[in-house]
Chains A and B, each alone.
Chain A
């Protein structure tokens, strides 16, 4: 369609920006530069979305260069109807992160923005990569800037949280690497994802590789019982770090299932589906109960992410068209709403330096704009009809009930628990008597802060009322995935 390597630009622009930052004059220039680069990246992503051929399930905007021919590793990029949305999500949250850190990060701004830009480039690259090794390299390289973001600009216990985050994810992804090599020597003879998807592997191999992949993705999602790094990382990370973590990084685990486990290992996916559904149901209920018990709002949202990500893995492993499309929609929407929730927690924390839920009250009376928007995102997270969370959760539940009554019931129970803790925040913080921690002064959202929240709100309402464009682009790719999952494929 076009000769311009759009995806490479999308992926390398922030990285090039990161390389230029050390040469800028002062911190304010650095901030503006980072914002401009990431906005430009977002606009390119929008352009890609608008030029995306929604009728095709094929990889689009493809690029190919040989990289290490002796080992069959190539630089291969492309996006389909699934990944195009995650590229958009990543680039959207990218510049919002810069704005959200405008005043809250005053220490070593230069390094911070370098990390943010590098992070964004690598994340976009992960969603565009079509070569296993390229994917792996970007996936793992991402750990470094995130480690620094948590470790340098985080809270009091940041170093511990950063280490835990890094080592958990590293241990998981190294097994992923072994899995990739097993596929290569187990008959794939290629690192090209598309050709691996078309290869039929023996069940025994599929089972082992599935387990190897499972560790990597389950850590990232995170699935219970590998979730313990998440609350630490979230609580300690600065606002921008939390937004990236919740908005994009967690999605990568689910994206991994979607891109690798399901299409490449269809038999093993069938084989393990009951276990995965059970683990997801456990995550939904257990994560929800943990969230219910938290008094620290950031920790609460972190645990709610465990629960919500449980919905996503539940939907994926129902192996049902409804459940799966629900899961993908939920992935995108969870990125938007949880990103927004962390943004708002960051905004209030910037004002009062407290995250104790019970220390707040009646905020809607003092800071109405903040209160209304925060309430909107809480409701969206609760999956209220008319906002973006609803459709995804509904589809996932429909798929889950189709799979088994127990899974569906666990999902409903999780949704109820979710309503309980989210309404709890709403009631405690926004309604009732006005109080702030230590009577700290609070002020309403400024223009910069509104600029962060507005696009997120737009997506919340748009996808709540009119999700059709999303589904139109998504559907062909999902249908294609369903075909791949159909295990009655001919031998290659």
Chain B
């Protein structure tokens, strides 16, 4: 490997390097505590993310592979990285006031967020199963610590421990699947692997076993039923901004890997996993929608809601084809803004992590803060998929892809569960507008929080009212990925 190749490889992974460097600088700075440090580190992190985003955008115009085919820069990875930046930046904006309120304003928080982001970025760009695995672990390890960041809170600690154990278990599944693939094909690199598999006997039981392990490991990260048990507990216990981060950035990265491995590269495995994925998808939609009905903690409810949304995303995978993949890409964008929007409101309503987050915290919000209640209603309606919000258009596009691929029964199941899930979003709207309380929530909206709310609101409304541009970007990303 001569010098120019190394140079171009380093250049291609520039955004990742910027983010990791940013994390290192933040780590150094956090060693010397000083007043106002939280704001400084938050600002630094945002700056690094902005730099990485600019670099990604300029790199995205020149599709290229780097590090001997283990790493790729294309419009698919660029699009998803932009979503990762957006999700992380919004998380940072929401975190500052929360950390102060919870008395855990430590610099490591931003360091860990940036490391998690870089892990997610590597997952998005990796085209070698080992690189992807490294990305997954980098992201997961950072999030384990973030989940337990409320060191004096037992729920947070419990969640972190559960997550470590279950996360390690799922990584084991994934790694076992990878090793089987390596044994069968003699490579970990996806494009070579797909060439080998093209001529291999796809009915071999060993290949089926390898695929199932790989799928199980990935579905665990996505939070699909029956690998969803960890989601509610960990969503509930983690600090609210971290929950928001996991449910968006974590989901984007996990789906990026699923798309990359199953839809773009190892398409040949499709007949092996299709039937199992159909079962898993229906179970995921059903469990997520039905279990959310009975939750009394808002974060638990959103955990089940995010399981249901994962089900919808998996419908996009089942639809397949360029519209199926593009629908997943678009859905991830919309889900990021609307879900983080709701989390911003949850953080605003936070009365201390020890109190938990009962849904009653929303009671009477329309009286004390009519504007905030209206914004929250828009986010919730979007999550429920009611037009003219982005949530509707995202679901609509998934349905388009499904029916185009002739999966009418799945589409009917999906919309029926979607109607069921409307109930629990409506319940919060009901509490806000129709509930009466003597102690309505009093919230203080800081400027960074306000910015996060505005960005998420604009994103949610714009993707619903003028979806054409977002759609074309998602479709272009898909074209780039299919290359």
Q: How many A-B residue pairs have CB under 8 A?
A: 86
Instruction: Say which one of A68-76, A392-400, A422-430, A443-451 lies at the interface with B.
Output: A68-76
A69→B468 CA distance, assembly (Å): 7
B419–A178 contact, CB under 8 A? Answer: no
Please state if A163 and B423 are interface contacts (CB–CB under 8 Å).
Answer: yes
B458 to chain A, nearest CB (A): 15
A68's contact among B403, B426, B467, by CB below 8 Å, is which? B467
B residues within 8 A CB of A137?
Answer: 387-388, 392
Interface residues of B in 405-438 (CB under 8 A from A): 408, 411-412, 415-416, 418-419, 422-423, 426, 429-430, 433-434
In the complex, the answer to whether A68 meets B468 with C-beta atoms within 8 Å is yes
Report yes or no: B370 in contact with A111, Cβ–Cβ below 8 A.
Answer: yes
For the complex, is B475 an interface residue (Cβ under 8 Å from A)? Answer: yes
Judge whether B372 is part of the interface by a CB distance below 8 angstroms: no
Contact B388 A177 (CB under 8 A): no
| Chain B 459-474 interface 0/1 with A at a Cβ cutoff of 8 Å (1 = within) | 0000000011001100
Chain A facing B: main interface SS: helix
CB neighbours (8 Å) of B371 from chain A are: 22
CB distance from A469 to the nearest CB of B (A): 36
Say whether A406 faces chain B, with CB atoms less than 8 Å apart: no
Q: Report whether over half of chain B's contact residues are helix, strand or loop; otherwise say mixed.
A: helix
> By the criterion CB–CB under 8 Å, are B386 and A67 in contact?
no
Report if A434 contacts B (CB, 8 A): no
Would you give the 0/1 interface string for A129-140, flagging 1 where the beta carbon is closer than 8 Å to chain B? 000010011101
**Docked complex Cα distance between A22 and B397 (Å):** 34
- Render B115-138 as a binary contact track against A, CB cut-off 8 A, 1 for contact: 000000000000000000000000
Cβ contact of B430, chosen from A68, A151, A175, A182, cutoff 8 A: A151
In whole angstroms, how far apart are the Cα atoms of A170 and B395 in the complex? Answer: 14
Question: In chain A, what residue has the closest Cβ to B466?
Answer: A67
Binds B, one of A28-36, A142-150, A322-330, A479-487: A142-150
Q: How many positions in chain A have a CB within 8 Å of any CB in the partner chain?
A: 36
B328 to chain A, nearest CB (A): 16
The answer on a CB contact under 8 Å between B403 and A136 is no
- How far is the CB of B6 from the nearest CB of chain A, in Å? 40
Q: Which of A143, A148, A152, A175 contacts B412 (CB 8 A)?
A: A175
Q: Is B238 an interface residue (CB 8 A)?
A: no
Are B433 and A148 in touch, CB under 8 angstroms?
yes
Find out whether the CB atom of B415 lies under 8 angstroms from the CB atom of A136. Answer: no
B361 at the interface (CB under 8 A from A): no
Give the Cβ gap from B301 to chain A, nearest Cβ, in Å.
Answer: 16
Give residues in B with beta carbon < 8 Å to A. Answer: 366, 370-371, 377, 381, 386-388, 392, 396-397, 399-400, 403-404, 408, 411-412, 415-416, 418-419, 422-423, 426, 429-430, 433-434, 467-468, 471-472, 475
The 10 closest A-B pairs by CB, nearest first: A174-B415, A137-B387, A171-B419, A181-B403, A68-B468, A170-B419, A151-B434, A140-B387, A141-B387, A137-B388
Taking A147-B426, A163-B423, A171-B419 as given, write out 15 further A-B residue pairs in contact, using a Cβ cutoff of 8 Å, ordered by the A residue number: A67-B468, A70-B471, A133-B396, A136-B387, A137-B388, A138-B387, A140-B387, A151-B430, A159-B434, A162-B434, A170-B422, A174-B418, A175-B415, A177-B399, A184-B400
Give me the interface of A with B, judged by CB distance under 8 Å.
Answer: 22, 66-71, 111, 133, 136-138, 140-141, 143-144, 147-148, 151-152, 158-159, 162-163, 166-167, 170-171, 174-175, 177-178, 181-182, 184-185
